[in-house]
Structure 1
Protein backbone atom coordinates (compact mmCIF):
# COMPACT_ATOMS: atom_id res chain seq x y z
CA UNK A 1 0.00 0.00 0.00
CA UNK A 2 1.19 3.52 -0.85
CA UNK A 3 0.12 6.83 0.60
CA UNK A 4 1.35 9.43 -1.89
CA UNK A 5 0.89 13.05 -0.93
CA UNK A 6 1.71 16.50 -2.12
CA UNK A 7 3.48 18.50 0.60
CA UNK A 8 2.93 22.28 0.53
CA UNK A 9 -0.61 23.26 1.52
CA UNK A 10 -1.52 19.56 1.76
CA UNK A 11 0.59 18.11 4.60
CA UNK A 12 2.81 21.09 5.52
CA UNK A 13 1.91 24.78 5.76
CA UNK A 14 3.50 28.19 5.97
CA UNK A 15 2.36 30.47 8.78
CA UNK A 16 0.14 32.32 6.32
CA UNK A 17 -1.48 29.17 4.94
CA UNK A 18 -2.07 27.16 8.12
CA UNK A 19 -5.40 28.82 8.97
CA UNK A 20 -6.76 30.83 11.87
CA UNK A 21 -7.47 27.79 14.05
CA UNK A 22 -3.75 27.00 14.21
CA UNK A 23 -2.36 30.51 14.41
CA UNK A 24 -2.11 30.52 18.18
CA UNK A 25 -1.56 26.80 18.83
CA UNK A 26 1.62 24.79 19.04
CA UNK A 27 2.81 23.42 15.70
CA UNK A 28 5.82 21.36 14.65
CA UNK A 29 8.53 23.09 12.55
CA UNK A 30 9.33 20.96 9.51
CA UNK A 31 11.43 23.15 7.19
CA UNK A 32 14.49 25.31 7.86
CA UNK A 33 15.54 27.97 5.34
CA UNK A 34 18.21 30.62 5.91
CA UNK A 35 18.09 29.98 9.66
CA UNK A 36 14.32 30.34 9.93
CA UNK A 37 11.53 27.77 10.25
CA UNK A 38 9.15 28.50 7.36
CA UNK A 39 6.88 25.42 7.14
CA UNK A 40 4.96 23.56 9.83
CA UNK A 41 2.82 20.50 10.57
CA UNK A 42 0.21 20.10 13.27
CA UNK A 43 1.01 17.61 16.06
CA UNK A 44 -2.10 15.62 15.13
CA UNK A 45 -1.04 15.42 11.48
CA UNK A 46 2.37 14.14 12.59
CA UNK A 47 0.79 11.55 14.90
CA UNK A 48 -1.62 10.31 12.22
CA UNK A 49 1.11 10.15 9.58
CA UNK A 50 3.44 8.21 11.87
CA UNK A 51 0.66 5.68 12.54
CA UNK A 52 -0.26 5.39 8.86
CA UNK A 53 3.41 4.90 7.91
CA UNK A 54 3.51 1.74 10.01
CA UNK A 55 1.28 -0.05 7.49
CA UNK A 56 1.57 2.03 4.27
CA UNK A 57 4.58 3.26 2.29
CA UNK A 58 4.61 7.06 2.60
CA UNK A 59 5.78 8.68 -0.64
CA UNK A 60 6.21 12.48 -0.63
CA UNK A 61 5.29 13.98 -4.01
CA UNK A 62 6.16 17.61 -4.66
CA UNK A 63 6.74 20.29 -7.28
CA UNK A 64 9.76 21.35 -5.24
CA UNK A 65 13.22 20.80 -6.67
CA UNK A 66 15.45 18.24 -4.99
CA UNK A 67 17.24 21.01 -3.10
CA UNK A 68 13.98 22.54 -1.88
CA UNK A 69 12.60 19.14 -0.87
CA UNK A 70 15.70 18.38 1.18
CA UNK A 71 15.08 21.47 3.33
CA UNK A 72 12.08 19.68 4.86
CA UNK A 73 14.15 18.09 7.60
CA UNK A 74 11.23 16.70 9.61
CA UNK A 75 10.04 14.39 6.84
CA UNK A 76 13.58 13.31 6.00
CA UNK A 77 14.52 12.56 9.62
CA UNK A 78 11.22 11.21 10.93
CA UNK A 79 9.96 9.12 8.02
CA UNK A 80 13.16 8.44 6.04
CA UNK A 81 11.15 7.89 2.82
CA UNK A 82 12.45 5.10 0.62
CA UNK A 83 10.96 6.87 -2.39
CA UNK A 84 10.08 10.48 -3.13
CA UNK A 85 8.84 12.22 -6.27
CA UNK A 86 10.25 15.73 -6.71
CA UNK A 87 10.45 18.37 -9.45
CA UNK A 88 6.76 17.80 -10.25
CA UNK A 89 7.58 14.24 -11.29
CA UNK A 90 10.79 15.08 -13.10
CA UNK A 91 12.86 13.22 -10.51
CA UNK A 92 12.21 10.05 -8.54
CA UNK A 93 14.47 9.67 -5.53
CA UNK A 94 15.44 6.26 -4.19
CA UNK A 95 16.98 6.60 -0.74
CA UNK A 96 17.56 10.26 -1.58
CA UNK A 97 19.34 9.63 -4.89
CA UNK A 98 17.78 10.43 -8.31
CA UNK A 99 16.85 7.33 -10.30
CA UNK A 100 18.83 7.55 -13.57
CA UNK A 101 16.37 5.27 -15.38
CA UNK A 102 13.55 7.71 -14.62
CA UNK A 103 15.68 10.69 -15.65
CA UNK A 104 16.24 9.10 -19.06
CA UNK A 105 12.51 8.43 -19.40
CA UNK A 106 11.68 12.07 -18.62
CA UNK A 107 14.33 13.38 -21.02
CA UNK A 108 12.74 11.37 -23.82
CA UNK A 109 9.23 12.53 -22.87
CA UNK A 110 10.31 16.18 -22.95
CA UNK A 111 11.11 15.90 -26.64
CA UNK A 112 7.36 15.74 -27.33
CA UNK A 113 6.75 19.22 -25.85
CA UNK A 114 7.85 22.60 -27.16
CA UNK A 115 11.39 23.70 -26.39
CA UNK A 116 11.68 25.45 -23.00
CA UNK A 117 13.36 28.52 -24.49
CA UNK A 118 10.43 29.12 -26.85
CA UNK A 119 7.98 28.77 -23.96
CA UNK A 120 9.71 31.41 -21.85
CA UNK A 121 9.96 33.67 -24.90
CA UNK A 122 6.18 33.41 -25.24
CA UNK A 123 5.77 34.17 -21.53
CA UNK A 124 8.05 37.19 -21.82
CA UNK A 125 5.63 38.67 -24.36
CA UNK A 126 2.84 38.80 -21.78
CA UNK A 127 4.83 39.37 -18.57
CA UNK A 128 5.41 42.72 -16.93
CA UNK A 129 7.39 43.94 -13.90
CA UNK A 130 4.01 44.97 -12.49
CA UNK A 131 3.20 41.34 -11.69
CA UNK A 132 6.28 39.19 -12.43
CA UNK A 133 9.10 39.50 -9.91
CA UNK A 134 11.45 36.73 -11.08
CA UNK A 135 11.58 33.27 -12.62
CA UNK A 136 13.93 30.34 -12.92
CA UNK A 137 14.19 27.11 -14.90
CA UNK A 138 13.90 24.67 -12.00
CA UNK A 139 16.01 21.52 -12.32
CA UNK A 140 16.10 22.37 -16.06
CA UNK A 141 12.60 20.89 -16.24
CA UNK A 142 9.96 23.58 -15.64
CA UNK A 143 9.64 27.29 -14.87
CA UNK A 144 8.91 28.61 -11.39
CA UNK A 145 7.75 32.24 -11.44
CA UNK A 146 7.39 34.57 -8.44
CA UNK A 147 4.33 36.81 -8.75
CA UNK A 148 2.71 39.92 -7.43
CA UNK A 149 -0.51 37.91 -7.42
CA UNK A 150 -2.87 40.87 -6.89
CA UNK A 151 -1.55 42.53 -10.08
CA UNK A 152 -1.71 39.44 -12.29
CA UNK A 153 -3.99 40.00 -15.34
CA UNK A 154 -6.31 37.01 -15.16
CA UNK A 155 -7.65 37.22 -18.71
CA UNK A 156 -4.14 37.46 -20.17
CA UNK A 157 -2.96 34.48 -18.12
CA UNK A 158 -5.97 32.38 -19.16
CA UNK A 159 -5.29 33.13 -22.82
CA UNK A 160 -1.65 32.16 -22.27
CA UNK A 161 -2.79 28.91 -20.64
CA UNK A 162 -4.51 28.00 -23.93
CA UNK A 163 -1.39 28.94 -25.91
CA UNK A 164 0.69 26.72 -23.64
CA UNK A 165 -1.65 23.78 -24.16
CA UNK A 166 -0.86 23.90 -27.89
CA UNK A 167 2.84 23.71 -26.92
CA UNK A 168 2.09 20.71 -24.68
CA UNK A 169 2.86 22.66 -21.53
CA UNK A 170 0.69 23.36 -18.47
CA UNK A 171 0.19 26.37 -16.20
CA UNK A 172 -0.59 26.36 -12.48
CA UNK A 173 -0.85 29.27 -10.02
CA UNK A 174 -0.28 28.45 -6.35
CA UNK A 175 -0.15 31.35 -3.92
CA UNK A 176 2.59 33.69 -5.08
CA UNK A 177 4.02 31.25 -7.61
CA UNK A 178 3.18 30.31 -11.17
CA UNK A 179 4.51 27.09 -12.68
CA UNK A 180 4.96 26.38 -16.40
CA UNK A 181 5.38 22.62 -16.77
CA UNK A 182 5.81 20.45 -19.89
CA UNK A 183 3.52 17.46 -20.38
CA UNK A 184 6.42 15.05 -19.93
CA UNK A 185 6.88 16.12 -16.30
CA UNK A 186 4.03 14.60 -14.30
CA UNK A 187 3.53 13.70 -10.66
CA UNK A 188 1.22 10.87 -11.67
CA UNK A 189 3.78 9.28 -13.98
CA UNK A 190 6.43 9.56 -11.27
CA UNK A 191 4.11 7.90 -8.78
CA UNK A 192 3.31 5.01 -11.13
CA UNK A 193 7.05 4.45 -11.54
CA UNK A 194 7.37 4.24 -7.75
CA UNK A 195 4.42 1.86 -7.62
CA UNK A 196 6.24 -0.46 -10.01
CA UNK A 197 9.52 -0.18 -8.10
CA UNK A 198 7.83 -0.93 -4.79
CA UNK A 199 5.58 -3.67 -6.14
CA UNK A 200 2.59 -1.97 -4.50
CA UNK A 201 -0.99 -2.91 -5.28
CA UNK A 202 -2.99 0.03 -3.91
CA UNK A 203 -2.46 3.80 -3.83
CA UNK A 204 -4.18 6.53 -1.86
CA UNK A 205 -3.23 10.10 -2.76
CA UNK A 206 -3.87 13.71 -1.81
CA UNK A 207 -3.05 17.11 -3.28
CA UNK A 208 -4.46 20.61 -3.64
CA UNK A 209 -3.22 22.09 -6.94
CA UNK A 210 -4.00 21.46 -10.60
CA UNK A 211 -0.50 20.00 -10.92
CA UNK A 212 -1.68 17.29 -8.50
CA UNK A 213 -4.47 16.04 -10.75
CA UNK A 214 -2.25 13.45 -12.45
CA UNK A 215 -1.25 12.25 -8.97
CA UNK A 216 -4.88 11.88 -7.92
CA UNK A 217 -5.85 10.10 -11.12
CA UNK A 218 -3.02 7.58 -10.65
CA UNK A 219 -4.45 6.58 -7.26
CA UNK A 220 -7.18 4.14 -6.30
CA UNK A 221 -8.48 6.57 -3.69
CA UNK A 222 -7.96 10.33 -3.65
CA UNK A 223 -8.94 13.18 -1.39
CA UNK A 224 -8.40 16.93 -1.82
CA UNK A 225 -7.99 19.67 0.81
CA UNK A 226 -10.89 22.12 1.05
CA UNK A 227 -8.72 24.91 -0.38
CA UNK A 228 -6.41 25.53 -3.32
CA UNK A 229 -6.74 25.31 -7.10
CA UNK A 230 -8.64 22.02 -7.34
CA UNK A 231 -11.19 23.08 -4.73
CA UNK A 232 -11.70 26.44 -6.44
CA UNK A 233 -12.14 24.77 -9.83
CA UNK A 234 -14.34 21.83 -8.81
CA UNK A 235 -16.02 22.65 -5.49
CA UNK A 236 -19.48 22.74 -7.08
CA UNK A 237 -18.94 20.05 -9.69
CA UNK A 238 -19.07 17.02 -7.38
CA UNK A 239 -16.02 15.48 -9.04
CA UNK A 240 -13.68 15.16 -6.05
CA UNK A 241 -13.95 14.16 -2.43
CA UNK A 242 -12.86 17.08 -0.22
CA UNK A 243 -11.78 17.24 3.41
CA UNK A 244 -14.15 18.64 6.01
CA UNK A 245 -11.77 21.48 6.92
CA UNK A 246 -9.42 23.81 5.10
CA UNK A 247 -5.94 25.00 6.11
CA UNK A 248 -3.84 22.81 8.35
CA UNK A 249 -6.95 21.00 9.57
CA UNK A 250 -7.30 19.52 6.08
CA UNK A 251 -4.10 17.53 6.59
CA UNK A 252 -5.53 15.87 9.68
CA UNK A 253 -8.80 15.10 7.89
CA UNK A 254 -7.24 13.58 4.80
CA UNK A 255 -4.84 11.25 6.64
CA UNK A 256 -7.66 10.03 8.89
CA UNK A 257 -9.90 9.33 5.88
CA UNK A 258 -7.11 7.56 4.01
CA UNK A 259 -6.34 5.38 7.05
CA UNK A 260 -10.04 4.45 7.17
CA UNK A 261 -9.96 3.56 3.47
CA UNK A 262 -6.88 1.36 3.85
CA UNK A 263 -8.64 -0.44 6.71
CA UNK A 264 -11.62 -1.40 4.52
CA UNK A 265 -11.90 -4.98 3.21
CA UNK A 266 -10.96 -5.12 -0.48
CA UNK A 267 -14.54 -5.72 -1.61
CA UNK A 268 -15.71 -2.56 0.18
CA UNK A 269 -12.88 -0.41 -1.20
CA UNK A 270 -14.28 -0.63 -4.70
CA UNK A 271 -17.52 1.07 -3.66
CA UNK A 272 -15.88 3.57 -1.32
CA UNK A 273 -12.92 4.68 -3.39
CA UNK A 274 -13.89 6.64 -6.49
CA UNK A 275 -11.19 9.21 -7.21
CA UNK A 276 -13.81 11.52 -8.63
CA UNK A 277 -17.52 11.53 -7.99
Structure 2
Protein backbone atom coordinates (compact mmCIF):
# COMPACT_ATOMS: atom_id res chain seq x y z
CA UNK A 1 0.00 0.00 0.00
CA UNK A 2 1.28 3.46 -0.94
CA UNK A 3 0.06 6.81 0.40
CA UNK A 4 0.01 10.28 -1.11
CA UNK A 5 -0.49 12.73 1.77
CA UNK A 6 -0.83 16.37 0.85
CA UNK A 7 -1.59 19.73 2.33
CA UNK A 8 -4.46 21.52 0.56
CA UNK A 9 -4.36 25.32 0.55
CA UNK A 10 -1.57 26.76 -1.63
CA UNK A 11 -0.34 23.24 -2.32
CA UNK A 12 -3.15 21.47 -4.18
CA UNK A 13 -6.00 24.00 -4.08
CA UNK A 14 -5.90 27.77 -4.55
CA UNK A 15 -8.12 30.78 -4.08
CA UNK A 16 -8.08 33.18 -7.02
CA UNK A 17 -5.95 35.53 -4.93
CA UNK A 18 -3.29 32.88 -4.27
CA UNK A 19 -3.00 31.58 -7.86
CA UNK A 20 -0.33 34.17 -8.79
CA UNK A 21 -1.67 34.25 -12.36
CA UNK A 22 -4.98 34.65 -14.11
CA UNK A 23 -6.30 31.46 -15.68
CA UNK A 24 -9.26 31.01 -17.98
CA UNK A 25 -12.42 29.47 -16.57
CA UNK A 26 -11.88 26.47 -18.86
CA UNK A 27 -8.61 25.69 -17.08
CA UNK A 28 -10.10 25.75 -13.57
CA UNK A 29 -12.18 23.25 -11.61
CA UNK A 30 -14.07 24.55 -8.55
CA UNK A 31 -13.24 22.44 -5.49
CA UNK A 32 -14.66 24.43 -2.58
CA UNK A 33 -17.96 26.19 -2.02
CA UNK A 34 -18.62 28.63 0.81
CA UNK A 35 -21.66 30.85 1.20
CA UNK A 36 -22.94 29.93 -2.24
CA UNK A 37 -19.72 30.92 -4.02
CA UNK A 38 -16.78 28.89 -5.30
CA UNK A 39 -13.74 29.89 -3.25
CA UNK A 40 -10.96 27.42 -4.14
CA UNK A 41 -9.90 25.79 -7.38
CA UNK A 42 -7.59 23.27 -9.01
CA UNK A 43 -6.51 23.26 -12.63
CA UNK A 44 -7.97 20.62 -14.91
CA UNK A 45 -4.46 19.25 -15.34
CA UNK A 46 -3.79 19.00 -11.58
CA UNK A 47 -7.07 17.18 -10.98
CA UNK A 48 -6.23 14.75 -13.78
CA UNK A 49 -2.83 14.02 -12.21
CA UNK A 50 -4.45 13.53 -8.80
CA UNK A 51 -6.96 11.10 -10.31
CA UNK A 52 -4.09 9.09 -11.81
CA UNK A 53 -2.34 9.03 -8.44
CA UNK A 54 -5.43 7.59 -6.73
CA UNK A 55 -5.27 4.64 -9.11
CA UNK A 56 -1.96 3.54 -7.60
CA UNK A 57 -2.01 5.03 -4.07
CA UNK A 58 -4.31 6.08 -1.26
CA UNK A 59 -4.80 9.86 -1.28
CA UNK A 60 -5.00 11.44 2.19
CA UNK A 61 -5.70 15.19 2.42
CA UNK A 62 -3.76 16.68 5.34
CA UNK A 63 -4.77 20.19 6.33
CA UNK A 64 -4.72 22.79 9.07
CA UNK A 65 -8.35 23.50 8.24
CA UNK A 66 -10.95 22.68 10.86
CA UNK A 67 -13.34 19.80 10.22
CA UNK A 68 -16.09 22.16 9.04
CA UNK A 69 -13.70 24.06 6.76
CA UNK A 70 -12.43 20.81 5.24
CA UNK A 71 -15.97 19.65 4.52
CA UNK A 72 -16.45 22.65 2.25
CA UNK A 73 -14.02 21.04 -0.21
CA UNK A 74 -16.66 19.10 -2.12
CA UNK A 75 -14.51 17.96 -5.05
CA UNK A 76 -12.72 15.22 -3.12
CA UNK A 77 -15.93 13.58 -1.96
CA UNK A 78 -17.42 14.02 -5.43
CA UNK A 79 -14.74 12.78 -7.83
CA UNK A 80 -11.77 11.54 -5.77
CA UNK A 81 -11.95 8.52 -3.49
CA UNK A 82 -10.98 9.76 -0.01
CA UNK A 83 -11.45 7.39 2.93
CA UNK A 84 -9.06 9.11 5.35
CA UNK A 85 -8.35 12.79 5.95
CA UNK A 86 -6.26 14.64 8.52
CA UNK A 87 -7.66 18.00 9.66
CA UNK A 88 -6.95 20.53 12.42
CA UNK A 89 -3.19 20.30 11.74
CA UNK A 90 -3.24 16.67 12.85
CA UNK A 91 -5.64 17.20 15.75
CA UNK A 92 -8.38 15.20 14.03
CA UNK A 93 -8.39 12.19 11.74
CA UNK A 94 -11.53 11.57 9.70
CA UNK A 95 -12.46 8.04 8.66
CA UNK A 96 -15.26 8.03 6.12
CA UNK A 97 -15.92 11.63 7.15
CA UNK A 98 -16.17 11.05 10.91
CA UNK A 99 -13.57 11.69 13.66
CA UNK A 100 -11.50 8.72 14.82
CA UNK A 101 -12.14 8.58 18.56
CA UNK A 102 -8.94 6.67 19.39
CA UNK A 103 -6.90 9.45 17.79
CA UNK A 104 -8.94 12.12 19.55
CA UNK A 105 -8.05 10.58 22.90
CA UNK A 106 -4.39 10.36 21.93
CA UNK A 107 -4.38 14.08 21.06
CA UNK A 108 -6.15 15.02 24.29
CA UNK A 109 -3.45 13.31 26.35
CA UNK A 110 -0.63 14.70 24.20
CA UNK A 111 -1.55 18.36 24.60
CA UNK A 112 -1.66 18.10 28.38
CA UNK A 113 2.13 18.52 28.38
CA UNK A 114 1.83 21.94 26.69
CA UNK A 115 0.72 25.27 28.13
CA UNK A 116 -3.03 25.78 28.16
CA UNK A 117 -4.90 27.55 25.36
CA UNK A 118 -5.81 30.34 27.78
CA UNK A 119 -2.15 30.98 28.68
CA UNK A 120 -1.13 31.16 25.02
CA UNK A 121 -3.95 33.54 24.12
CA UNK A 122 -2.94 35.78 27.01
CA UNK A 123 0.67 35.79 25.82
CA UNK A 124 -0.40 36.71 22.28
CA UNK A 125 -2.63 39.52 23.52
CA UNK A 126 0.31 40.96 25.45
CA UNK A 127 2.57 41.26 22.41
CA UNK A 128 -0.04 42.14 19.78
CA UNK A 129 -1.47 45.52 18.81
CA UNK A 130 -4.82 46.45 17.23
CA UNK A 131 -2.81 48.19 14.51
CA UNK A 132 -1.80 44.85 12.98
CA UNK A 133 -3.54 42.07 14.94
CA UNK A 134 -7.01 42.19 13.40
CA UNK A 135 -8.95 39.21 14.77
CA UNK A 136 -8.59 35.56 15.68
CA UNK A 137 -10.40 32.43 16.77
CA UNK A 138 -9.92 29.07 18.44
CA UNK A 139 -10.10 26.18 15.97
CA UNK A 140 -11.66 22.84 16.97
CA UNK A 141 -10.70 23.64 20.59
CA UNK A 142 -7.09 22.87 19.65
CA UNK A 143 -5.20 25.85 18.17
CA UNK A 144 -5.54 29.49 17.17
CA UNK A 145 -5.79 31.20 13.80
CA UNK A 146 -4.97 34.92 13.98
CA UNK A 147 -5.52 37.37 11.14
CA UNK A 148 -2.88 40.08 10.76
CA UNK A 149 -2.09 42.99 8.46
CA UNK A 150 1.22 41.83 6.90
CA UNK A 151 2.24 45.35 5.90
CA UNK A 152 1.96 46.67 9.46
CA UNK A 153 3.05 43.58 11.42
CA UNK A 154 6.46 43.89 13.16
CA UNK A 155 7.90 40.52 12.19
CA UNK A 156 10.73 40.84 14.71
CA UNK A 157 8.14 40.79 17.52
CA UNK A 158 6.56 37.62 16.11
CA UNK A 159 10.02 36.03 15.75
CA UNK A 160 10.72 36.72 19.43
CA UNK A 161 7.27 35.43 20.33
CA UNK A 162 7.98 32.23 18.40
CA UNK A 163 10.87 31.46 20.76
CA UNK A 164 8.71 32.08 23.83
CA UNK A 165 6.01 29.82 22.44
CA UNK A 166 8.45 26.95 21.91
CA UNK A 167 9.33 27.09 25.60
CA UNK A 168 5.61 26.61 26.31
CA UNK A 169 5.25 23.67 23.93
CA UNK A 170 3.60 25.65 21.12
CA UNK A 171 4.71 26.63 17.60
CA UNK A 172 4.01 29.65 15.41
CA UNK A 173 3.60 29.68 11.63
CA UNK A 174 3.03 32.75 9.44
CA UNK A 175 1.17 32.15 6.19
CA UNK A 176 0.28 35.39 4.46
CA UNK A 177 -2.40 37.14 6.51
CA UNK A 178 -2.73 34.23 8.94
CA UNK A 179 -0.69 33.41 12.02
CA UNK A 180 -1.18 29.94 13.46
CA UNK A 181 -0.50 29.14 17.12
CA UNK A 182 -0.44 25.36 17.51
CA UNK A 183 0.53 22.94 20.31
CA UNK A 184 3.86 21.35 19.43
CA UNK A 185 2.47 17.87 20.12
CA UNK A 186 -0.23 18.24 17.44
CA UNK A 187 1.43 17.54 14.09
CA UNK A 188 0.43 16.37 10.67
CA UNK A 189 3.34 13.93 10.67
CA UNK A 190 2.22 12.09 13.81
CA UNK A 191 -1.30 11.75 12.43
CA UNK A 192 0.03 10.35 9.18
CA UNK A 193 2.22 7.80 10.98
CA UNK A 194 -0.88 6.65 12.86
CA UNK A 195 -2.70 6.13 9.56
CA UNK A 196 0.33 4.49 7.95
CA UNK A 197 0.31 1.82 10.64
CA UNK A 198 -3.48 1.49 10.56
CA UNK A 199 -3.69 0.78 6.84
CA UNK A 200 -0.35 -1.04 6.53
CA UNK A 201 1.31 1.37 4.10
CA UNK A 202 4.97 0.93 3.18
CA UNK A 203 5.67 4.01 1.06
CA UNK A 204 4.62 7.65 1.49
CA UNK A 205 4.86 10.62 -0.83
CA UNK A 206 3.97 13.98 0.69
CA UNK A 207 3.64 17.62 -0.30
CA UNK A 208 3.11 20.86 1.60
CA UNK A 209 4.18 24.50 1.57
CA UNK A 210 4.39 25.70 5.20
CA UNK A 211 6.31 25.06 8.41
CA UNK A 212 3.23 23.24 9.71
CA UNK A 213 3.75 20.76 6.85
CA UNK A 214 7.36 20.01 7.74
CA UNK A 215 6.49 17.15 10.10
CA UNK A 216 4.50 15.63 7.23
CA UNK A 217 7.39 15.87 4.79
CA UNK A 218 9.85 14.43 7.30
CA UNK A 219 7.97 11.13 7.65
CA UNK A 220 7.63 10.65 3.88
CA UNK A 221 9.82 8.57 1.60
CA UNK A 222 9.45 11.26 -1.04
CA UNK A 223 8.66 14.92 -0.34
CA UNK A 224 8.05 17.90 -2.60
CA UNK A 225 7.10 21.49 -1.76
CA UNK A 226 5.84 24.44 -3.84
CA UNK A 227 8.46 27.10 -4.48
CA UNK A 228 6.17 29.90 -3.29
CA UNK A 229 5.69 28.60 0.26
CA UNK A 230 6.96 29.30 3.76
CA UNK A 231 9.35 26.33 3.55
CA UNK A 232 11.07 27.64 0.43
CA UNK A 233 11.34 31.10 1.98
CA UNK A 234 13.10 29.52 4.96
CA UNK A 235 15.32 26.94 3.25
CA UNK A 236 15.62 27.82 -0.43
CA UNK A 237 17.26 25.39 -2.82
CA UNK A 238 19.94 24.48 -0.26
CA UNK A 239 17.58 22.15 1.63
CA UNK A 240 17.15 18.43 0.94
CA UNK A 241 13.46 18.87 0.07
CA UNK A 242 12.60 18.98 -3.60
CA UNK A 243 10.96 22.27 -4.57
CA UNK A 244 8.95 22.87 -7.70
CA UNK A 245 10.27 25.14 -10.42
CA UNK A 246 6.82 26.74 -10.73
CA UNK A 247 5.09 29.04 -8.27
CA UNK A 248 1.39 29.57 -7.69
CA UNK A 249 -1.27 27.23 -8.96
CA UNK A 250 1.00 25.79 -11.66
CA UNK A 251 3.17 24.35 -8.88
CA UNK A 252 0.36 21.91 -8.07
CA UNK A 253 0.52 20.43 -11.57
CA UNK A 254 4.28 20.03 -11.35
CA UNK A 255 4.35 18.42 -7.91
CA UNK A 256 1.53 16.00 -8.76
CA UNK A 257 3.33 14.93 -11.93
CA UNK A 258 6.49 14.29 -9.89
CA UNK A 259 4.55 12.34 -7.25
CA UNK A 260 2.89 10.16 -9.89
CA UNK A 261 6.26 9.50 -11.51
CA UNK A 262 7.74 8.59 -8.12
CA UNK A 263 4.98 6.07 -7.41
CA UNK A 264 5.46 4.38 -10.78
CA UNK A 265 9.22 4.17 -10.24
CA UNK A 266 8.77 2.74 -6.75
CA UNK A 267 6.27 0.18 -8.03
CA UNK A 268 8.66 -0.80 -10.81
CA UNK A 269 11.51 -1.26 -8.32
CA UNK A 270 9.33 -3.52 -6.17
CA UNK A 271 8.46 -5.69 -9.15
CA UNK A 272 12.08 -5.96 -10.34
CA UNK A 273 13.29 -6.92 -6.85
CA UNK A 274 11.00 -9.93 -6.60
Q: Classify the TM-score, shorter chain.
A: over 0.9
TM-score by length of 2: 0.95
How do 1:116-265 and structure 2 match up within 5 A?
116-265=117-266
What CA deviation, in whole Å up to 9, does each residue of 1:101-139 have, x standing for no partner?
A: 000000000011111110110000011111111111100
Distance 2:84 2:156 in 1: 39
Distance 2:213 2:205 in 1: 13
Distance 1:254 1:150 in 2: 30
Distance 1:45 1:170 in 2: 31
Aligned to 1:272: none
Aligned length: 269
Tell me how far 1:80 sits from its aligned partner: 3.5
What CA deviation, in whole Å up to 9, does each residue of 1:38-68 have, x standing for no partner?
A: 1000000000101110110000000000000
Tell me how far 1:25 sits from its aligned partner: 5.7
Q: Cα–Cα, structure 1 residues 23 and 213, in superposed 2: closer, same or farther, change >3 Å?
A: farther
Q: Is the 8 A contact 2:134 2:148 kept in 1?
A: yes
Q: Is the 8 A contact 2:114 2:169 kept in 1?
A: yes
Q: Is the 8 A contact 1:27 1:40 kept in 2?
A: yes
SS in 2 for 1:104: helix
Distance 1:161 1:34 in 2: 34
Tell me how far 1:259 sits from its aligned partner: 1.0
Q: Is the 8 A contact 1:22 1:248 kept in 2?
A: no
Aligned to 1:108: 109
Tell me how far 1:196 sits from its aligned partner: 1.2
* Off by >4 Å, runs of 4+ in structure 1: 265-269
Q: Cα–Cα, structure 1 residues 162 and 265, in superposed 2: closer, same or farther, change >3 Å?
A: closer
More divergent stretch after superposition (255-264 vs 87-96): 255-264
Task: Return 5+ residue gaps in structure 2 as ranges.
Answer: none
Task: Return 5+ residue gaps in structure 1 as ranges.
Answer: 270-277
Q: Is the 8 A contact 2:54 2:81 kept in 1?
A: no
SS in 2 for 1:55: coil
What CA deviation, in whole Å up to 9, does each residue of 1:121-166 have, x standing for no partner?
A: 0000011111111111100000011111111111100000000010
How do 1:7-156 and structure 2 match up within 5 A?
7-20=8-21, 22=23, 26-156=27-157
Tell me how far 1:238 sits from its aligned partner: 3.0
Distance 1:76 1:189 in 2: 24
- RMSD over aligned CA atoms reads 1.5
Distance 1:175 1:38 in 2: 17
SS in 2 for 1:149: coil
Q: Is the 8 A contact 1:15 1:23 kept in 2?
A: no
Q: Cα–Cα, structure 1 residues 120 and 204, in superposed 2: closer, same or farther, change >3 Å?
A: same
Tell me how far 1:179 sits from its aligned partner: 0.3
